[in-house]
Amino acid sequence: MSDDERVRSFQRKLYQKSKQEETFRFYVLYDKLCLPYVLREAYKRCRKNGGSPGVDGVTFASIEDAGVDGFLERIRNELEQETYRPEMVRRVYIPKANGKMRPLGIPTIKDRVVQTACKLVIEPIFEADFQDESYGFRPRRSAGQAVATIREHLKRGYDQVYDADLSSYFENAGQRRRRHNQWWKKQQGRNAPGRSHQSAPCEYLSQYSGQSGEPEQWHLLVS
């Protein structure tokens, strides 16, 4: 069985449990981040996405020259020993259609691997709670599918469309904090608080280097 198949099999079990028992609380998820096949699959997906290096300047090519196995083993050791800490996120700006600039954060490849491993573990748990009408940023869902659904609704006579957008949502600290509070309430209902969040590997999923040089912390805790 390939790493991808093993990950999908594990995710299906998490999803099915979440779907069948809405109030079920998951225990012992932390150690799943350290599973070799989870880290290998996380690296594979990061490699497929490509992208520029983070603040440490480490590229995929340099990692592969030195050996991917050794790179992942060091990550696994840090996670197991609870010494893993993410690096600062490199800030770049990309132009928007309206002439403004959109800030973009580029984590190091090491942090991307840990973030992806974390996503592989917790995504099926929260995926089970999404409404069927939700298409954004979900696995095996796309904007094209959303448009196709809208087309079907139009054929059925639903001809009113409400379009809403949140301006500079992630640039607003107050809104980020409220979103985190909402997420944390959900987290408490799904993941049991048996592990100190001080040692969670994704305690600071991203540390953004802001304009003033002060890091902004985005919390994602894994029990």
What's the predicted TM-score (pTM) here? 0.72
Which carries the bigger pLDDT value, residue 76 or residue 214? 76
The share of the chain scoring above pLDDT 90, in percent, equals: 42
What whole-number distance in Å separates Cα of residue 117 and Cα of residue 7? 10
Task: Examine the pLDDT at 54 and tell me if it is beyond 70.
Answer: yes
* Lowest mean pLDDT, pick from 27-31, 52-56, 69-73, 91-95: 27-31
Residue 113 pLDDT > 50: yes
Q: What pLDDT, on a 0 to 100 scale, did the predictor assign at position 179?
A: 62
Mean pLDDT of 1-11: 93
Instruction: Kindly report, residue by residue over 137-161, the tens digit of the pLDDT.
Output: 788 888 888 889 888 888 999 888 7
pLDDT, residue 202, reads 47
Looking at residues 102-119, what average pLDDT do you find?
Answer: 94
Instruction: Measure the CA dihedral 125/115/131/27, to 10°.
Output: 20
pLDDT (0 to 100) of residue 103: 87
Rounded to 5 degrees, what are φ and ψ at 62? -70, -35
pLDDT in tens, 158-213: 888 777 776 666 566 555 566 666 665 665 555 554 443 333 444 444 444 444 43
- 83 is written with which tokens? 């010494």
Residues 6+ apart with CB under 8 A from 22: 129
Instruction: Report the run of H or E that residue 207 belongs to, with start and end.
Output: strand 204-209
Q: In terms of pLDDT, which residue wins out, 188 or 70? A: 70
The answer on pLDDT for 223 being more than 90 is: no
Mean pLDDT of 123-150: 84
133 band by pLDDT with thresholds 50, 70 and 90: confident
Under 8 Å between Cβ of 179 and 8: no
